[in-house]
Amino acid sequence: MPQTLNADARICHGPVGRAGMSQRHAEKGTIAIDFVDEALVCIRDAGLDAAAILTAACISPELLASPQARVSSSQYGQLWHLIAETLDDEFFGMDRHRMKQGSFTLLCHAVIQADTLERALRRALRFLRLVLDGIEGELRVEDGVARIVLQDRGPPQRAFAYGTFLLMLHGLACWLVGRRIPLHAADFRCAEPRYSGEWRVLFAQQLNFDRETSGIAFDADYLALPNIQNERTMKAFLRSAPANFLVKYKNSASLSARIRRRLRELPPAAWPEFDALAQQFHASAATLRRRLDDEGESFRSIMDGMRRDLAISMLCDTRHPIVEIAAELGFAEASAFHRAFKKWTGTRPGEYRLRTAR
């Protein structure tokens, strides 16, 4: 049977209003509202107006009440910069010592002349050791595996602190060598947070919690890769940070990630049925379904997530009529798109666009 979004969303295989519109937004991705809520902890602790910060970042405060809501990567990047500017802290107030505004830029300047990834990472870890008091990172290499291990210089940190530190470091490393560095696993010295599924997309499928230390592991061969960046490319990188490494260097080795890459090659209205997709991956439908289930995914959840991300991106970044966006995303009727979008985000597309514009 044809794969559908839900009972209300029938896939439309006819021509769409703006062919290729979705392709331009396929790589942007979205960020879970949990990450927004975690980033705001420092604002609330400082007694500041979190709603005002959200509004300035074009994020509706009402979205915090919808656990399934998501925001665009550009909105989250803007929130990151606003919090850093408000508190003069690029680490969300999670360390005894502020990571003052401009620290990440100086970090990039510190590593840009390193000739290999290993030298760049060691230099970056020394820099962060000087900037932050509560977390100290170390690069260890043993038996062909490189590990970045985080030690707490005090009480254990919030899960969000470990994730933010590792995300900054891994995103920087991927950019320096111009490719995703696949991770074997990621360890965390904390209980599993409710947003751990997001970390499986950002880091690796294998996440380990309640460990003695936090860190990530990858093949040591990557340490010898050359740094291909320079002062000129660094300026472009910094203009897009942190939104770029939140979505650009996601976990790409999983089966679900490979399926997403395959679907991005086509407009949503032309996405294949599941049996046809299984043939493209040289597997039976049952085998493919079982492998996706092992990753906690399904073909429907993958399609829902991609349509949701495309919808948010197009609502935020374009003025295309909602009826055209619905058709481009493969919905036969705009009303079905309205119902699906509210299910995904807790709000209707027109309300979401209006709040973002405000």
| pLDDT, tens digit, 9 for 90 and up, residues 219-235 | 999 999 999 999 999 99
Number of domains into which the chain is organized? 3
Query: In the chain, what percentage of residues exceed pLDDT 90?
Result: 53
Q: Estimate the crossing angle of helix 334-345 against helix 349-357, to 10 degrees.
A: 60
* Inside any domain, residue 11: no
Q: Do 113 and 241 fall into the same domain?
A: yes
Q: Do 177 and 146 fall into the same domain?
A: yes
Range of the domain at 202: 100-247
Q: Do 257 and 341 fall into the same domain?
A: yes
β-sheet bridge partners, residue 70 = 32
DSSP, res 100 = -
Task: Output the pLDDT for position 113.
Answer: 94
Query: Which of 181, 215, 247 delimits the end of a domain?
Result: 247
Q: Do 110 and 53 fall into the same domain?
A: no
Whether residue 186 contacts residue 206, with contact meaning beta carbons closer than 8 Å, is answered with yes
HSE value, Cβ hemisphere, 13 Å, CA-based, for 138: 9
Q: Do 240 and 258 fall into the same domain?
A: no
| Residue in 88, 22, 109 with CA at minimum distance from that of residue 325 | 22
Write the burial class of residue 60 (CB in 10 Å: 0-12 exposed, 13-18 middle, 19+ buried): buried
Q: Do 47 and 148 fall into the same domain?
A: no
| The Cα angle at residue 284 between residues 279 and 286, in degrees rounded to 5 | 135
> SS3 of 160, please?
helix
Lookup result for tokens 């349509």: 307
CA 42 to each of CA 46, 158, 162, 222: distance values in angstroms, whole numbers, following the listed order: 6, 12, 15, 35
Q: Do 194 and 218 fall into the same domain?
A: yes
Distance CA 212, CA 186 (A): 13
Q: Do 230 and 265 fall into the same domain?
A: no
CATH number at residue 345: 1.10.10.60
Q: Do 205 and 317 fall into the same domain?
A: no
Task: Output the pLDDT for position 253.
Answer: 58
Q: Do 241 and 312 fall into the same domain?
A: no
Distance CA 337, CA 157 (A): 41
User: What end-to-end distance do the CA atoms of the chain give, in Å?
Assistant: 42
Task: Output the pLDDT for position 58.
Answer: 84
> SS3 of 216, please?
strand
* Inside any domain, residue 277: yes
Task: Output the pLDDT for position 246.
Answer: 67
* Inside any domain, residue 314: yes
CA 195 to each of CA 131, 185, 250: distance values in angstroms, whole numbers, following the listed order: 27, 17, 15
* Inside any domain, residue 1: no
What is the number of other CB atoms lying within 10 angstroms of the CB of residue 87? 20
Tokens of residue 90, six digits: 């690029």
* Inside any domain, residue 197: yes
Each residue of 99-109: pLDDT tens digit?
A: 999 999 999 99
* Inside any domain, residue 278: yes
| Residue in 328, 270, 267, 264 with CA at minimum distance from that of residue 2 | 270
Tokens of residue 59, six digits: 């994020």
Q: Do 156 and 183 fall into the same domain?
A: yes
DSSP, res 222 = G
Residues of the chain with pLDDT under 70: 1-29, 243-253, 296, 356-358
Cβ neighbours of residue 78 under 8 Å, at least 6 residues apart? 56, 57, 58
Query: Which of 44, 61, 87 delimits the end of a domain?
Result: 87
Each residue of 53-82: pLDDT tens digit?
A: 999 988 888 888 877 788 888 788 889 999
Query: Which of 218, 247, 276 delimits the end of a domain?
Result: 247
Task: Output the pLDDT for position 216.
Answer: 97
CA 320 to chain centroid? 25
Lookup result for tokens 């990440």: 104
Q: Do 136 and 232 fall into the same domain?
A: yes
* Inside any domain, residue 208: yes
* Inside any domain, residue 12: no
